[in-house]
Structure 1
Amino acid sequence: MIEQKLKSLAELADISATASRAGRKVVHCHGTFDLLHNGHIRHLQHARSLGDMLMVTVTSDAFVRKGPGRPVFTDHLRAESLAALACVDYVAISDAETAIGAIEHIRPRLYVKGSDYVDASQDVTGNIAREIAAVRQWGGDVYFTDEITFSSTRLLNEHFDVFPPETRAFLEDFKRRCPLDRFLTAIRRLSSLRVLVMGDAIFDEYHYVSALGQTGKGNTLAVRYQSEERFAGGAIAVANHVAGFAREVTLLTALGKEPGAVEYVKGKLAANVTLEHRYFPTAQTLIKRRFVDQDLQRLFEVYYGGEETERLELDQAFCQWIERHAADFDVVIVPDFGNGMISREMARCISEHATFLVVNTQINSGNRGYHAITRYPRADFLCLNEPEARLAAHDRQSSLEQIAGDLVDKLGARAMAVTRGVAGALIVDPAGSLMVPALSSRVVDRVGAGDAFLSLAGLCMAAGYPADIVTLAGSIAAALDVQIVCNRESVDPVLFAKYATTLLK
């Protein structure tokens, strides 16, 4: 019986069309239904009473980005649980972020949501308004049930081991100081900031291959080419992360003179990002070509371009622009990848003229051993990973708290964040230090996670927020980013709000 109720969206479309032609009223409900409870059951029973046939669609696992450990139950298990209810006629899994695609397939006479969606302005995703529009486009209407409600998120957080003990303890402590509504309000207020992002433009290429094994002669690994994809990385990616949260963003970068570079970058930037670029006199825009296997493990990496030797003209052009415009921005965020754009003179200039300066100096294969945060005379907020911090301090043994404190003093900063991968993040300021545990249980690709952390943490620090809000915001951004292949997407403020809701509800 249960199996007969489980259908594809295409099958639901046919069934719904046939039912509608026969004069039967099709009702549609949609959700995650990660923990089926009494509130869901009453909601679905009420929905079924409003028509002749109830179809329920479930968000697939790949699109449930509500927080670590979610969904607890797979989409097939969630669909089977719904199909076991007598009031449900058919169930399908929807491979989409919202219900709009399912609505367009089913075209229900009535789309039913719970009472917590009556006020669309309280929907952090903004999806309910779009779903209502989609229903009405096909001649349907929307109904809100008023049954007993429970929070699946709160029930899962309280009664399932969704979070490790240290994460649970941190979140409970954070919620006492800063409840969810206050945290999300603080994030929304970032929209008032005018932001300059300055740094290397990078074109990241992934060449997807499948491993064949060792060659017949020698120890060379042989692979078979599958496909390739190009991403706008480096400072471009940071500008796009920031653009989701700040209203005005300017990207200051250098590009090669190769055909199509400027057009490509402009096509990849968010609508509220203004591009200010200068040309490298001799170098091309840096391309990082990575060969990755079916598990997204990097096998080999090739650098093309990015090294500029004729610096005088480039330095003068950037420094003149910085001197004239840096003070126009509330915050300058510098993701310094050490790939040839930002010279010591440019670092000095931006340190002198930025109203509030956020800096990351990244260690990578092209600069390992000689690229450190100490090339900047000053900064207000430092954001490094542990190897970058230890390199800057030339210290392998001291505690991270000691190293961060020394760097804060040396550069006159207000605080320093140290990202530590699966160990979470540390922030140190004059008041002390705070450790925030890692917030992601699902890692697709770590490339770009540090840039996402820098973007949100830097904005929050510039806004004057306390260390715990700064670090939690950066950690949520990083947790979302590790679920994205390279820089295919930027951190979405809607998903950020959903993730925060799962953590703090």
Structure 2
Amino acid sequence: MSREKILTLDELAVRARQLRSQGKSVVLCHGTFDLMHAGHIRHMQRAKEEGDVLLVTVTADAYVNKGPGRPVFNEQLRAEYIAALACVDYVAINHAVTAVDALNRIQPSIYAKGSDYRSHSDDVTGNIALEQQAVVAHGGQIFYTDEITFSSSSLLNEHFGVFPPETKEYLKAFRQSWSDRDLHRMIASLSGLKVLVVGDAIIDQYHYTAPLGQTGKGNILAVRYESEEQFAGGAIAVANHLAGFASQVTLVCGLGTVDSQEEFIRSKLQKNVEPVFFYMEGAPTVTKRRFVDADLAKLFEVYFFREDPILGKNEQQVCEWLKRHVGEYDVVVTPDFGNGFISATMIDILCDRSKYLAVNTQVNSGNRGFHVIHRYARADFASLNEPEVRLASHNRHDPIESVARDVGDRVRARHFAVTRGTKGVIMLDRDKEMVHTVPALSTKVIDRIGAGDAFLSLAGVCLGGGLPSEVAAFIGSAAAALDVQIVCNREPVSPVSLNKYVTTLLK
């Protein structure tokens, strides 16, 4: 019987119109309702008292913006258990981020929200204000219920094994010092920063394939081509991450004169990223073509780049630009992928003139063994993965914390982070002589490409903006957890998604 209450949004809009024509007062509730609890039930029961008919719209799985592993229960299950409530007349799944479209189509007399939405300034998405406009535009009003409240996120985090015990203990300790509102304010404080990104432009290509098996005449895997996708990666991705958090971002990078991809790159930049391109004669813009299967497992990779230093006479132009402008920026972020754009002279200028310098020197197939962090005489913040730290120290076996201290000493880093994949992150705060360990904050991984860039971007700008190191490590880890849900660099980590995930974690 309860399943008969579940309609499409189109059907719900028609039903609402019929009810209004009969003189019925229509009340609408909307939400994720990932875990049904007493607070939800009382909220809906109270909402029903404000009208004749109660309709509920449920956010579809694809639009639940609460971070990795959410929703725990799929959209159909969530719709079914709401439909099972006697006070609910009809339910529909809403395929949108907000309820605005549903409100415009249903046009309820009353839009019922919980008391925690009464203060619109506390809504990090800004959606409640938009929803209120939609309600009022059709002659309705918002009604706030004052019933007992619980947090689905808090209940799921605490009782449903969303995170392993180590992560639960970390979050419990962290929330004793910092609330989600504290972190929202800190993240907002970064907006006044002026940020410079200097690094390699990279084009990431994914060729999606389906394996066919071994060829008939050799030990070679054959695959069937299905589709392809191209992404703006490297320093471009870092600039795009930062663009959501800092009002002014400048990107300095090198493009090849052969297959420059400049039009594509410009089309992918966020609106507040100002590009400053320099051109490398006789070289392509660095392109990495990956052949992947349906699960995004990498089968094979092809590099398009020049191994020798390629700036040539243009190096002087870059150095002159850096000398004139580096000191104007509050934070300089240098994702150095070791592909030939950043020269030793450029590094000297960055080290000498940056107010706050955040650096990563990535080890990859194109530079393995020839690219380490102590190319830089100084970095206020360095972020490396564990293999990069051990390569820089030529130390395979000692505890990673002691190895990180040794490498950090060489670059005089005030803060030094080691990203460790499923083991999380350690952050050395050399000013306070403290070590912060953050476990992995993601329960699900779609694609690891770009996660280190997300951590560097957010942790770096937090530290450069004067936020505490334990907060920077947490925010950077949350950004990385969001990024592993994104295929390659398809989109940057946004302030809304980060703020919502911070709230989810700290409930």
Q: Secondary structure at the match of 1:470?
A: helix
Report the counterpart of residue 78 of structure 2 in structure 1.
Answer: 78
Report the counterpart of residue 492 of structure 1 in structure 2.
Answer: 494
Unaligned runs of 5+ in 1: none
303-312 or 160-169, which deviates more: 303-312
Shift of the alpha carbon at 1:414? 0.2
Report the counterpart of residue 441 of structure 2 in structure 1.
Answer: 439
- Mapped contact 1:68–1:162 kept (Cα < 8 A): no
Report the counterpart of residue 319 of structure 2 in structure 1.
Answer: 319
- Mapped contact 1:306–1:341 kept (Cα < 8 A): no
- Mapped contact 1:180–1:501 kept (Cα < 8 A): yes
Report the counterpart of residue 397 of structure 1 in structure 2.
Answer: 397
Percent identity of equivalent pairs: 56
**Is 1:471 matched with 2:473?**
yes
Q: Give deviations 1:160-214, integer Å, cap 9, x for gaps.
A: 3332221122122222222332222222111121110111111111222222222
TM-score, L = length of structure 2: 0.94
Tell me the number of residue pairs that the alignment of Structure 1 and Structure 2 aligns.
505
Alignment of 1:130-169 (within 5 A): 130-138=130-138, 140-169=140-169
Report the counterpart of residue 340 of structure 1 in structure 2.
Answer: 340
Report the counterpart of residue 106 of structure 1 in structure 2.
Answer: 106
Separation of aligned partners in 2, 1:11 and 1:162: 35
Q: Secondary structure at the match of 1:197?
A: strand
415-424 or 119-128, which deviates more: 119-128
Q: Which amino acid aligns with 2:59?
A: T
Q: Secondary structure at the match of 1:280?
A: strand
Separation of aligned partners in 2, 1:114 and 1:306: 59
Q: Give deviations 1:283-313, integer Å, cap 9, x for gaps.
A: 1211212222111112222222355644331
Report the counterpart of residue 4 of structure 2 in structure 1.
Answer: 4
Q: Secondary structure at the match of 2:276?
A: strand
1:408–1:140 Cα change, 3 Å: same
- Mapped contact 2:279–2:311 kept (Cα < 8 A): no
Report the counterpart of residue 58 of structure 2 in structure 1.
Answer: 58
Q: Which amino acid aligns with 2:265?
A: V
Report the counterpart of residue 247 of structure 1 in structure 2.
Answer: 247
Separation of aligned partners in 2, 1:14 and 1:308: 66
Alignment of 1:247-326 (within 5 A): 247-257=247-257, 261-305=261-305, 307=307, 309-326=309-326
- Mapped contact 1:424–1:436 kept (Cα < 8 A): yes
- Mapped contact 1:283–1:307 kept (Cα < 8 A): no
1:143–1:84 Cα change, 3 Å: same
Q: Which amino acid aligns with 1:36?
A: M
Separation of aligned partners in 2, 1:479 and 1:65: 13
Alignment of 1:325-474 (within 5 A): 325-430=325-430, 431-474=433-476
Report the counterpart of residue 120 of structure 2 in structure 1.
Answer: 120
1:24–1:308 Cα change, 3 Å: farther
Shift of the alpha carbon at 1:385? 0.3
Separation of aligned partners in 1, 2:301 and 2:259: 23
Q: Give deviations 1:432-469, integer Å, cap 9, x for gaps.
A: 32211000001111110000000011011112333211
- Mapped contact 1:285–1:306 kept (Cα < 8 A): no
1:97–1:444 Cα change, 3 Å: farther
Q: Secondary structure at the match of 2:55?
A: strand
TM-score, L = length of structure 1: 0.95
- Mapped contact 1:68–1:163 kept (Cα < 8 A): no
Shift of the alpha carbon at 1:142? 2.7
Separation of aligned partners in 1, 2:485 and 2:365: 24
Separation of aligned partners in 2, 1:239 and 1:365: 23
Q: Secondary structure at the match of 1:480?
A: helix
Separation of aligned partners in 2, 1:164 and 1:196: 38
Q: Give deviations 1:23-47, integer Å, cap 9, x for gaps.
A: 4333221111122122211221222
Q: Which amino acid aligns with 2:18?
A: T
- Mapped contact 2:417–2:425 kept (Cα < 8 A): yes
Separation of aligned partners in 2, 1:88 and 1:448: 44
**Is 1:19 matched with 2:13?**
no
- Mapped contact 2:199–2:342 kept (Cα < 8 A): yes
200-209 or 45-54, which deviates more: 45-54
| Of 477, 480, 483, the match for 1:481 | 483
Q: Which amino acid aligns with 1:449?
A: A
Separation of aligned partners in 2, 1:81 and 1:62: 19
Q: Which amino acid aligns with 2:9?
A: L
**Is 1:45 matched with 2:83?**
no
Q: Which amino acid aligns with 1:251?
A: L
Separation of aligned partners in 2, 1:220 and 1:107: 61
256-265 or 238-247, which deviates more: 256-265
1:96–1:214 Cα change, 3 Å: farther
Q: Secondary structure at the match of 2:284?
A: coil
Shift of the alpha carbon at 1:324? 0.6
- Mapped contact 1:196–1:332 kept (Cα < 8 A): yes
RMSD: 1.9
91-100 or 438-447, which deviates more: 91-100
Unaligned runs of 5+ in 2: none
- Mapped contact 2:259–2:285 kept (Cα < 8 A): no
238-247 or 340-349, which deviates more: 340-349
Report the counterpart of residue 230 of structure 1 in structure 2.
Answer: 230
Q: Which amino acid aligns with 1:135?
A: V
Report the counterpart of residue 502 of structure 1 in structure 2.
Answer: 504
Separation of aligned partners in 2, 1:388 and 1:309: 22
